[in-house]
């Protein structure tokens, strides 16, 4: 049975992530910041250029073309046409899913 995430727990901040990685790897916080920024820049440029970027063990960033469609404003109920646009989607890797929330074995 999965345990529910406690409502009062917050996700790690960028500073907390940097400190944790620095402690785990033995690198300085400044080096960790440079690595994270380089990885982020690489993900942005590769996704923009090639339409796809794989983060091993985590998932894939993909560009997705969304068609024009009719949408409704929930406040007014007014319908209008939303234009076609390109959005970024993230698909979680199977290894990540299994590590975080394993699926129960089939009978």
* In the predicted structure, residue 7 carries a pLDDT above the cut 60: no
What's the predicted TM-score (pTM) here?
A: 0.73
Tokens 């590590």 correspond to 99
Give φ, ψ of 82 to 5 degrees: -85, 130
Give pLDDT tens digits for 34-78: 999 999 999 999 999 999 999 999 999 999 999 999 999 999 999
The answer to whether 36 touches 19, Cβ cutoff 8 Å, is no
Structural domain boundaries of the chain? 10-49, 51-102
- Look up the CATH number of domain 51-102: 4.10.520.10
């Amino acid at each position: 049975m999965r345990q529910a995430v406690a409502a009062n727990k917050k996700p790690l901040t960028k500073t907390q992530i940097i400190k944790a990685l620095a402690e785990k790897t033995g690198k300085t916080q400044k080096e960790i910041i440079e690595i994270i920024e380089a990885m982020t820049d690489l993900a942005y440029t590769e996704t923009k250029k090639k339409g796809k970027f794989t983060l091993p063990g985590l998932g894939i960033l993909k560009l997705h073309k969304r068609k024009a469609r009719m949408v409704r404003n929930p406040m007014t109920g007014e319908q209008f046409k939303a234009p076609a646009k390109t959005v970024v989607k993230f698909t979680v890797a199977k290894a990540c899913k299994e590590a975080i929330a394993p699926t129960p074995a089939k009978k």
